[in-house]
Structure formats: structure tokens, C-alpha cells
Homo-oligomer: A and B are copies of this chain.
Amino acid sequence: MIRYLTAGESHGPQLTGITEGVPAGLPITEDEIALHLARRQKGYGRGGRMAFEKDRATFLSGVRFGETTGAPIAMSIPNRAHEKDDSNWPKVLNKEGDGEDVEAITVPRPGHADLTGVQKYRYDDIRPAIERSSARETAMRVACCSIARQFLKHFGIEIGGHVTRVGSVGYEDSWEDVRKRVGPMLKDGAESVFEEADKSPVRCLDEELTQEMRDLIIKRRKEGSSLGGHWEVIVTGLPAGLGSFVHWDRKLDGKIAQAIMGTQAMKGVEIGQGFESGRRHGQVVHDEIIYEDDDFKRRTNRMGGIEGGISTGMPLIVRGVMKPIPTMLTPIDTVDFKSKEKKDTRYERSDVCALPRAIVVVESVIATVLANAFLEKFGGDSIEEIEERYSN
């Protein structure tokens, strides 16, 4: 089983991650991880910070001669902001000293972990909550999960995501329109989806919608507001039989849902037609089974590749929603947690819409869930051993 821990504050010296449980003999390079880290940093609607960060994860262990050894893989990503900013991060986040000359932040921003962080950990300064709950952490999460992603790709399993809605702008019929757009692309594997989406500054596959989304982002930026939206991730090449119905915590969709909702700013997740399936009746929801090319297939894929908590062998379709970024130029009401006085939210430099970049994060976290389900079925300590079984 692959497991990973990430560590690091948004403006601390570095992010650190350890991924443990990867089979030995998987070809892997820092460049492949850098690709997804770079994708995570691109996208329209970004704030200033991204301009000078250019993330690269460095392997510190577990990789030799371009292959995993089975040992834990440690990685670090330096936070260039820590040093380059004029600001005094080394002082503000000093691991030593008493912090007496650092001003405490006491005005929580709604929608962040600011107030809840204080309530949980009894902070007298919101700073630690800001630092650790920041989306900056997802850079290391992408790095850790990119190893699992590489593992899946080795066995022909590809992952690709795209944006289906930014605020009021999105596909008219979110399910059917998107199926028409994406369906033909999947015969080349789901990576073709992200490759195509990456050409759009908002990672939307539709050119017209891309333009409208950009316009909306510009408009909301001017107003001092922010935006979220809807996304979709597709996985191709997944074999049938991963996950199980025999106990609730073995269901593949349950594990995917936790991984997604465990990602910053995600407020909902659905598989296949998801919420839309509640509006329809059974005859137009379930997927007829056919036998074709020596395999069982579904005439449609409204179930999104999972039935009874188990992968069907059809493309996996996971969709979700990211809420608008809580940091906004135009303030809303809040309260100083010490004085209890009413305050305006203070502004920290931020993006207007983080969704295009968050696509890479959700693609990534799904990868580790799937790699574990795959390992559970095929077992094995080395790529060679797994290949023997998988080709059988």
C-alpha cells in the first residue's frame, strides 16, 4: 500500500514529502514530476506569487539509476518566496525565539481555516493556520501522487482533467455536452484530455467557453470578488475489478471521494452523472451491458466507470466543485478573535480563480487511490513481478 505524508508551511523554507510503499523497479524521473508541478502553476486567474515560483521536487531517497528501489521516497520543494520576498518570512516563521517582535494576526478570513484553526489548536495568532491550510501544500501533494500516477501510466492507465464551469459560465448540459466533447478523445487515452485542456488558460476544452470564463474572471477581479467552478477528471485503461462491495470502506468511490474532499476548497464530488442521476429515472440512467471486442462494455457510461464500488473497465469519470477563493479584495465582515470587535477582512495577495490549477491536484490525488486499489488486486513488490501478472 502506498501512503504519503506532506509537511511544510506556505512561506516556510521548503515543502517536504515522503511517499512510502511504491514497488521497486518503477522508472521515474524528477522531470516527469516537474511536468505536473509546472501544470499546477499555470492557468488564468492567478495572483502574483506564481510568477516567481517555479517548483521542482528533488528526490532525496528511494530512487537509484532512474528507478524506485522500494524504499521510501523523500522529496523537497524549496519555497522561493521564503527567501526572495522583501517580507521577513524567516523572522515571521522562525522556529526559534519568542516571536515578540512579530505581530499576531487576529482577524480571521471567512472561508479559510483561520477561525476554526484557532478554535481547534488554541492559537493566539492565526499565522500557523494560514500557513498550513494554504493551497501551497498541494505542490508537494502533486509531487507525492505523481509517483503513483507514473506507476499507473506504466500499466497503461492515464488520467486527465479539465474545467467544465467557472462561476456562471459552463457547459449548458453539463453531462451530455461534455460527453460529446470528451468521448472521442478517450480512444487516445485520458492524457489527451489534459494535454488539450492545458492549451486553454482556464483548462477548458471549449474555445468559446474559455473566452467567456476569462472575461468573467476579469470582471470579478475588477469587482474584488473571486470565483470557483466545476471540474471533471477522467481515467482510462483502468481494469475491471478494483474496489469492492463487500464492505463499505472497500468501495472505490468512497476512497476517491475522501481524497477529493480532502483537497483544499473542494465542496462536492460525484461519480459519473452524479447529481444529475437523481433528476432522471432509471431507464435513462443505467448503462446497458454489451459484449464487444472480447470484453464486457457498457453502451453508455453514466455510472462513470464504477458499479457496486468496483471499477467496470469503462473510463472512470470523477467530477467536483471548487468553491470561490475566500481571499477577496472587497472585504466582508468578520470579527477580531481576541477583541471580539467587528472588522473588515484584510487582503493578502491571492488568485481570483484557482480552479484551472486545482485540476492538477485532483488528477493527482485520484492517482494514489487507484494505484492502491491496483496493488491490492495485483499484489507485488516489484514492477517486474506485477507485469508478469498483469499481462497474463
Q: Per-position contact with B for A242-280: 1 when CB-CB < 8 Å, else 0?
A: 101111110101111111111100111111111101111
A 300-335 contacts with B by CB, 8 A: 303-304, 307-313, 321-326, 328, 330, 332-335
Interface residue count for A (Cβ, 8 Å)? 164
Chain copies in complex: 4
Q: Interface stretch among A69-77, A150-158, A178-186, A189-197?
A: A69-77
Q: Is the CB of A296 within 8 A of B335?
A: yes
Closest chain B residue to A71 by CB distance? B132
Q: Is the CB of A5 within 8 A of B5?
A: yes
Q: Is the CB of A5 within 8 A of B20?
A: yes
A265 to chain B, nearest CB (A): 9
Does A113 count as interface, using CB distance less than 8 angstroms? yes
Does A62 count as interface, using CB distance less than 8 angstroms? yes
Q: Is the CB of A72 within 8 A of B5?
A: yes
Q: Which of B71, B129, B296, B299 contacts A128 (CB 8 A)?
A: B71
Q: Is the CB of B241 within 8 A of A120?
A: yes
Does A210 count as interface, using CB distance less than 8 angstroms? no
Beyond A6-B72, A258-B258, 13 extra complex contacts between A and B, CB < 8 Å: A3-B5, A6-B248, A7-B61, A7-B72, A8-B74, A69-B131, A71-B132, A113-B309, A268-B274, A282-B325, A285-B324, A286-B326, A291-B342
